[in-house]
Structure 1
Amino acid sequence: MKKELAKVLSVSELTQAIKEVLEPNFCSLFVKGEISNCKLQSSGHLYFSLKDAGSQIQAALFRGHAAKLARMPKDGDQVIATGEVSLYAPRGQYQILIRDLQFLGVGELLIQLHQLKEKLQARGWFHPEHKKALPKFPKRIGVVTSPTGAVIQDIIHVLTRRFSGFQIVLNPVKVQGEGAAEEIAKAIEDFNKYNLADLIIVGRGGGSMEDLWAFNEERVAQAIYESKLPIISAVGHETDFTIADWVADVRAPTPSAAAEMATAEKANLLQFLQGARKQCLLRLSHQMESYRRHLVTLKKHPALSSPYGVLAPLIQRLDEFSRRLEILNPKVKIQEHKDRLRRLQEHLRSLNPRNLLKKGYAILFDEMNHSIILSSKHFLLKQNFKVLMHDGVVEAAAKQVQEHGTFL
């Protein structure tokens, strides 16, 4: 009896059999490898090979999953692919349908970054009390960056636009690649050693984590921490954070912002002075206008338009007060009394009998009682009497008494 012949399979049957065995057993797996021959189709799907030193396998990353990645993969990326094995029957080719990619380079760097951050934080390098205040009016601003990049141009543009009268001292360095961290640290140390600046801006433009990695090196962190000069860290874009940012005295989101921070106090002072100048000019203008209106009002005042009309009553009152003062003046009163006394003396002199006697009059006295004889009726015949004249006395006797008589 002949041996029973084995079942003959078609290519499709064999492929399907393999598919049924392969796919259920490799429906979720992680594969580590390097991407090569990466091609992006117009449909948005991505096809590439995943290889290592001994072999390779085709991979497909469809548009929906590709959109969820942090960045698109490229040749040379070391990745861990998450997906499933699929057999493509028309070609009899198995491949990996990828759902997610973890970029091994970034992952390893993130681990290193986290470890260094915890290490330096434990040392106290991030503590606020270690931060130095920025000088208010720096005269020399040091810059540690690439001499050919846009960063130095942005910093120069901002500083010169805002102010003048200070120096920008550039210490050129590599900002990425081998030796960059050492150059950056050495530049910071030189600024301190030779006292070349009042503060230092350390930075570069944006880039990937790998591009910015020099600023995550402990060598750079130590130079920043030990710096006696205040340091502003300006690495990458606003969302980028490096070890240098945490250790620095001030972190700026961009190099241009760092330039503004370096001159913030001076800018505030200048703004204050400009505002004060405007305020002074405004107040001076208002005050001058007030004085002008006051002068116009004074010009219309009667005291200026007709001064004598205003002064006349005052002059009259002054004269009146002067007269009163003269009256109340003791010398004036004494003189008045002297004048009155003089008039009384003259009056008394005029009443003095001797003055009348000089005019030819005489006074008759009774010889017996010395009384004045005022009438002829008082005379007796042969009565003796005395006649007082201005220059002497005459004794006489009455021979005859004749009333109402005359000399003639």
Structure 2
Amino acid sequence: MLSADPYLSVKALTKYIKKKFDADPHLRDVYVKGELSNVKIHTSGHIYFTLKDNSARLAAVMFSANAKSVKFKPESGMTVLIRGDVNVYEASGQYQLYAQSMQADGIGDYYLAFEQLKEKLAKEGLFSAAHKKPFPRFPKRIAVVTAPTGAAVRDIVTTLNRRYPLAKVVIFPTLVQGAQATQSIVQSIQAAGKSDFDVMIVGRGGGSIEDLWAFNEEAVARAIYQSHIPIISAVGHETDTTISDFVADLRAPTPTAAAELAVPSKAELIDRLLGYRSAMYRMTSNMITKDQTALNRLTNSMPFAYPDRLYRPFIERIERATDSLQREAGQLINRTKERHAYLHGQLANRAPVHRIKQSALDISQLERRLDHLLTAQLRSNQQQFSAAMRTLDALSPLKIMDRGYSISYKEGQVVKSIKQVEAGDELTVSLQDGTLKALVTERNLMNEGDKENG
């Protein structure tokens, strides 16, 4: 006979442990003081949170029936007083505190510092949406400021390579926890800002508020604000909120979500392209079908079914137009020829050659008239000259000298009177065939009677 199986199932063991918790009277009504962390208020009204102190953490939940009695909004960092019971949540095998009442007991140091810095930077405008830089749709280079090891960097790199392998990812190894974390984060942000990155992811994985505190430091906030590269803050889990989240250009709930926000999804892009292609094919097919239907309708319509009837009137119009065109063209040509002949005649009459010929005839006539006039004038002048020569010859002193007369000159002047000459004067006597030099030896004046007698 086989012995019973000594191994318990996980469910059975968990139930056994839960019964132990149920049977312990010290766990039925407990009073616990601690700091709230990872507070999440569900849409149903349930409040899930972690209660912690410097040494331990305790998962807790307050159902909506009890949460309605809480007069304030539970937030991470608050120190609270809780009354409830401790039991096991069988689904996860985790013990947790089931809170029945909650009272505020002041605010933790970290939370107070967080609120003070948040208020200060908000007044300076570091959280203003006007300063948020836009992100490129298809980044080429992505800087990741985080610890070089751990789940956060693996999730970011894996997600980036999976979603958009075209982008080059550069890791800036950074301390994200501890005393030197603030300076290391600032230096990494500044170092990344000296290169041509399109997007920068700054963050780390989850942890306590102490673990995440470097991202609540003012120096880190100002380094993020001064960066010319758009920054995605990815600090902790979805319920964790830091000052870096407010200053950054975009806040991601987790490092993986930051990678998803930084780049487009390769699969989504392919699906979108395939969708565009399908839509284009579908639209083209619909257009072709629609146009084919319209073409078939037109082909089967009356004009296209009998095409000769469609163009027959146009043939008749073309023939009439051709006849009219030929007739008008003939008339135009005739008018043009007549006009050309008229203009040719006018041009011939006014042509330089014709005018030159006419001028040559006119010149010939004028030359003949000039010759005639010159001849007549010359003849008249010759006749007048001959008559004048005869008269001059008849009146010439030489003719008189032919009859024995002479002319006397005194110092080149003709001697007309004896009174012009004195005895001893030398005279030049001009005869018909020469001249004589004569000396006056005596001058005899004639009386009036002698003049009358000759």
Q: If the length of structure 2 is used for normalisation, what is the TM-score?
A: 0.46
Determine the C-alpha separation between the residues in 1 that align with 2:80 and 2:291.
85
Q: Which residue of 1 aligns with 2:131?
A: 130
* Deviation digits for residues 194-217 of structure 1 (CA, Å, limit 9, x no counterpart): x14122111122222112112112
Determine the C-alpha separation between the residues in 1 that align with 2:211 and 2:19.
28
Q: Which residue of 2 aligns with 1:344?
A: none
Equivalent pair of 1:239/1:253 in contact (CA under 8 Å)? yes
1:156 aligns with 2:157: yes
Q: Which residue of 1 aligns with 2:291?
A: 291
Q: Which residue of 1 aligns with 2:254?
A: 254
Evaluate the alpha carbon distance shift between residue 177 and residue 101 of structure 1 in structure 2; reply closer, same or farther with a 3 A threshold. farther
Equivalent pair of 2:233/2:245 in contact (CA under 8 Å)? yes
Q: Which residue of 2 aligns with 1:228?
A: 228
Evaluate the alpha carbon distance shift between residue 325 and residue 245 of structure 1 in structure 2; reply closer, same or farther with a 3 A threshold. closer
Determine the C-alpha separation between the residues in 2 that align with 1:133 and 1:320.
73
1:43 aligns with 2:21: yes
Evaluate the alpha carbon distance shift between residue 176 and residue 276 of structure 1 in structure 2; reply closer, same or farther with a 3 A threshold. same
Higher fraction of helix: 2
1:65 aligns with 2:43: no
Write the mapping of 1:380-391 to structure 2, written as runs, cut at 5 A.
none
Determine the C-alpha separation between the residues in 2 that align with 1:329 and 1:135.
72
Letter in 2 for 1:189: Q
* Deviation digits for residues 123-149 of structure 1 (CA, Å, limit 9, x no counterpart): 443333333232343211111122322
Equivalent pair of 2:164/2:264 in contact (CA under 8 Å)? no
Evaluate the alpha carbon distance shift between residue 46 and residue 128 of structure 1 in structure 2; reply closer, same or farther with a 3 A threshold. farther
The alignment partner of 1:203 has SS state of: strand
Write the mapping of 1:6-405 to structure 2, written as runs, cut at 5 A.
42-43=20-21, 63-66=29-32, 70=36, 71-72=50-51, 76=55, 107-193=108-194, 195-263=195-263, 277-300=277-300, 307-308=307-308
Evaluate the alpha carbon distance shift between residue 175 and residue 328 of structure 1 in structure 2; reply closer, same or farther with a 3 A threshold. closer
Evaluate the alpha carbon distance shift between residue 303 and residue 325 of structure 1 in structure 2; reply closer, same or farther with a 3 A threshold. same
Determine the C-alpha separation between the residues in 2 that align with 1:123 and 1:308.
85
Deviation at 1:289, TM superposition (A): 0.9
Letter in 1 for 2:250: V
Larger Rg over CA atoms: 2
Determine the C-alpha separation between the residues in 2 that align with 1:196 and 1:157.
22
Determine the C-alpha separation between the residues in 1 that align with 2:204 and 2:54.
26
- How many residues get paired? 264
Equivalent pair of 1:303/1:310 in contact (CA under 8 Å)? yes
* Deviation digits for residues 326-380 of structure 1 (CA, Å, limit 9, x no counterpart): 999988xxxxxxxxxxxxxxxxxxxxxxxxxxxxxxxxxxxxxxxxxxxxxxxxx
Structure 2 spans left out of the alignment, 5+ residues: 1-17, 37-49, 58-78, 83-100, 332-454
Deviation at 1:279, TM superposition (A): 4.1
The alignment partner of 2:200 has SS state of: strand
Evaluate the alpha carbon distance shift between residue 74 and residue 202 of structure 1 in structure 2; reply closer, same or farther with a 3 A threshold. same
Letter in 2 for 1:230: P
Determine the C-alpha separation between the residues in 2 that align with 1:81 and 1:165.
50
Q: Compute the RMSD of aligned alpha carbons.
A: 4.7
The alignment partner of 1:153 has SS state of: helix
Equivalent pair of 2:203/2:236 in contact (CA under 8 Å)? yes
Evaluate the alpha carbon distance shift between residue 72 and residue 165 of structure 1 in structure 2; reply closer, same or farther with a 3 A threshold. closer
Evaluate the alpha carbon distance shift between residue 211 and residue 300 of structure 1 in structure 2; reply closer, same or farther with a 3 A threshold. same
Letter in 1 for 2:112: I
Letter in 2 for 1:76: S
Equivalent pair of 2:235/2:242 in contact (CA under 8 Å)? yes
Structure 1 spans left out of the alignment, 5+ residues: 1-39, 48-59, 84-98, 332-408
Determine the C-alpha separation between the residues in 2 that align with 1:314 and 1:277.
46
Q: If the length of structure 1 is used for normalisation, what is the TM-score?
A: 0.50
Deviation at 1:44, TM superposition (A): 7.1
Letter in 2 for 1:109: Y
Evaluate the alpha carbon distance shift between residue 305 and residue 177 of structure 1 in structure 2; reply closer, same or farther with a 3 A threshold. same
Evaluate the alpha carbon distance shift between residue 302 and residue 124 of structure 1 in structure 2; reply closer, same or farther with a 3 A threshold. closer
Determine the C-alpha separation between the residues in 2 that align with 1:100 and 1:326.
111
Equivalent pair of 2:34/2:52 in contact (CA under 8 Å)? no
The alignment partner of 1:280 has SS state of: helix
Equivalent pair of 1:230/1:249 in contact (CA under 8 Å)? yes
Percent identity over the alignment?
40
Deviation at 1:270, TM superposition (A): 8.3
Letter in 2 for 1:43: F
Determine the C-alpha separation between the residues in 1 that align with 2:228 and 2:329.
89
Deviation at 1:244, TM superposition (A): 0.9
Evaluate the alpha carbon distance shift between residue 44 and residue 207 of structure 1 in structure 2; reply closer, same or farther with a 3 A threshold. farther
The alignment partner of 2:284 has SS state of: helix
Deviation at 1:115, TM superposition (A): 3.0
The alignment partner of 1:144 has SS state of: strand
Equivalent pair of 1:142/1:196 in contact (CA under 8 Å)? no
Equivalent pair of 1:169/1:196 in contact (CA under 8 Å)? no
Equivalent pair of 2:182/2:219 in contact (CA under 8 Å)? yes
Equivalent pair of 1:199/1:229 in contact (CA under 8 Å)? yes
Deviation at 1:77, TM superposition (A): 5.6
Determine the C-alpha separation between the residues in 1 that align with 2:179 and 2:204.
16
